[in-house]
Amino acid sequence: MKPLNRTIVGGLIFLAVGLPFLQLVIWSFSNRWFYPALLPQQWGWRAWQYIFDTAGAQIVGAIGQSLAVATATAVIALLIGLPAGRALGLYAFKGKDVISVILILPVIVPPLCVSMGLHHWFIRLGLAESFSGVVLVHLTFCLPYAVFVLWGVFSNYNPEFEDQARSLGASTTGIVLRVMLPMTLPGLVVAALFSFLLSWSQYLATLIIGGGKITTLPIILFALMTSGDRPVAAAVSLVFVAPAFLALLFSARYMGRQSMMGIW
């Protein structure tokens, strides 16, 4: 391809990816922006003031709720997924195909079906409209994701270092803490990030199981989008997208490329 064409196509990609965010930023800083002006007639902080001050109790509360749900989901997915990922990545045994299918189904079948089925059961167990209920329903699809990532991590892990450490007298705890965890850390971080972002952006499962009591950020954003206050919807969208950007920057800095493949 000619250099000029290359610049043009590259520029188009840049524009296509950047345009949505540029619009969100401009809208979030506009106090008055009537049709058909191309830029706001009056710039200002109204939307940001609204979400952190006027409606602060509600929106900052939702940010906290979202952070709590996604962090709990990611930590549990990592803790439970780690042994499974290790077993699947390191050892040959029968039934791996079946396990693969069991794990792929929750990733592909939409959360809608499962959440509706679980809801009735969760009501009877007292898990509906509760924090733990929402975390459990998020785990249904976050955990298989984490296991797939960790499976990949451990299939590239050389367990002979553990044998060497053991022959030098290290205890099992010592091996886990000083050999396995440091060697697999980047992969573990990616698995946790996947689960966190997947849980963070979940709307319908939270709505069905949380029943409006567990108001995470997407639930607030959904209400705002239908209310039509564009600057506020834009500002909340930017808050909502922030962890994704932080995760991307982190993975670009520490993990090398293509580590974010699993989240689409």
Partner 1 sequence: MITRDPATDSNARTRSGPGPCTLTLLLTPALGLVVVLFGGGLVLGFLQSLGHLPAAGMKAYTLQHFQNILTDPDFLKSLGLTLYISAVSTAVAGALSISAALFLIGFQGPRRLVDFIFEIPLAVPHLVIATAVVFLLAPSGMISRMLQTTGLIDGASRFPLLINDPWCIGIIVTYVWKEVPFITLMVMAVLKNTGAELLETARTLNANRWQCFRYVVLPTIFPSLGAACLIVFAYTFGAFEVPYLLGQTYPMTLPVWAYRNYSDIDLMARPEGIATGLVIAGVIIAAIVLSQALTRMARRRGAII
Q: What is the DSSP letter of 170?
A: -
Report the residue number, 175 or 221, with the smaller CB distance to partner 1. Answer: 221
Report the residue number, 98 or 168, with the smaller CB distance to partner 1. Answer: 98
- Tokens 């972002």 belong to residue: 197
Helix axes 131-155, 96-108, angle to 10 degrees: 130
Report the residue number, 13 or 177, with the smaller CB distance to partner 1. Answer: 13
Distance CA 106, CA 78 (A): 17
**Dihedral angle computed from the Cα positions of residues 191, 107, 80 and 85, in that order, rounded to the nearest 10 degrees:** -70
Q: State the nearest-atom distance from the C-beta of 95 to partner 1, in Å.
A: 9
Nearest to 232 by CA among 65, 16, 79, 62: 62
Q: State the nearest-atom distance from the C-beta of 208 to partner 1, in Å.
A: 8
Q: State the nearest-atom distance from the C-beta of 145 to partner 1, in Å.
A: 9
Distance CA 75, CA 195 (A): 9
- Exposed (0-12), middle (13-18) or buried (19+): which is 83, by Cβ within 10 Å? exposed
Nearest to 62 by CA among 244, 228, 214: 214
Distance CA 119, CA 186 (A): 36
Q: State the nearest-atom distance from the C-beta of 151 to partner 1, in Å.
A: 6
